[in-house]
Amino acid sequence: MSYKRVLTVQDISCVGQCSLTVALPILSAAGLETCILPSAVLSTHTAGFKGYTFRDLTEDIPAIAAHWQKEGIQFDAVYTGYLGSAEQIAYVKEMFKTLLKPEGVSIVDPAMADNGRLYPGFDQAFVEEMKTLAFSADVILPNITEACMLTGMPYRETYDEAYIDELLSRLVDNGAKTVVLTGVGFKPDKTGVMVLENGEKKYYEHRKNERGSHGTGDVYASAFVGAYLRGNSVYDAAAIAADYTLKCIENTVDDPSHWYGVKFEPVLPYLISRLG
């Protein structure tokens, strides 16, 4: 296997096991040279902590990207997570053009919403800008809420397979190439991932853990990128990432004091073994 270089663009929440503090160790454990571009630095993530600090790094991004171009640095993949502004999205779109190798892949986790609602600080103008990024990417990894916002389709907490099929169809109609739709469950005790690639739909189902955990979307997306760039198919990478994320949740569920994230680090050997 060739030694691949991936760039991930998202924020650093110094405490909280999400964003870059999740992506960097998981991608490195997958055997990838992992380069980072922080979009912001926070003392903690914003879910449950109060009085956190926040420093926006938007103004630093163009100079960093320009330096990489000057040095001839290119990437086999660019993977984006939480982006804090429409301006940052515009910068990332330019990086897809200037910093990816000719055969490189762009992967977008449109991290902006869940449970039918946008995250704090985002508005419809941000959604409109995210559409231009998501629909220009090679692979997108939305949850159902994000997929609805990208397509204008009404969000439903309960749904059937026909609803998911229509959601996938609308994503493709808007320009999506390969879709990994997360959090898709048709049974009360099950959840899973619906993959659409080259017009073919595949569903990977696994057991559902009722405990909600912060940062699991970042854990999933990072594990997916690691598995995919290691040569797995989109479906196999989606399945490996789902299994790993579930094990991370199960590794945390008995510790109520660890409410702010999942204990993903002790489970990295499992991920490494799945990647061969």
Residue 78 Cα distances to 5, 6, 54, 103, 226, angstroms: 9, 6, 24, 12, 12
CB burial string 65-74: b at 16+ within 10 A, e below: beebeeeeeb
- pLDDT at position 141 is 98
In this structure, is residue 228 part of a structural domain? Answer: yes
* pLDDT the model gives residue 208: 85
Which pTM value belongs to this model? 0.96
Pairing mode, strands 75-80 and 5-15: parallel
Residue 41 lies in a domain: yes
Say if 113 falls within a structural domain: yes
Q: State the total domains in the chain.
A: 1
Q: Please say whether the beta carbons of 263 and 248 come within 8 A.
A: yes
State which residues form the domain around 104: 5-271
Amino acid at 234: V
Q: Please check whether residue 110 lies inside any domain of the structure.
A: yes
pLDDT of residue 120: 83
Tokens of 191: 């959840």
Residues in Cβ contact with 16 at an 8 Å cutoff, skipping those fewer than 6 apart: 44, 45, 47, 49, 214, 215, 260, 261
Element (H, E) at 68: helix 61-71
What is residue 270's predicted lDDT score, i.e. its pLDDT? Answer: 98
Look up the CATH number of the domain holding residue 212.
Answer: 3.40.1190.20
Residue whose token pair is 């939305």: 142
| Helix or strand run (H / E) with residue 202 | strand 200-207
pLDDT beneath 50, residues of the chain: none
> pLDDT value at position 210?
75
Q: Let me know: does 254 contact 262? Beta carbons within 8 Å.
A: no
Classify residue 276: in a domain, yes or no: no
Q: Is residue 138 part of a domain?
A: yes
The amino acid occupying position 237 is A
Encoding tokens for residue 224?
Answer: 């997916």
* H or E segment to which residue 268 belongs: helix 268-275
Q: Which residues pair with 46 in a beta bridge?
A: none
Provide the pLDDT for residue 194. 98
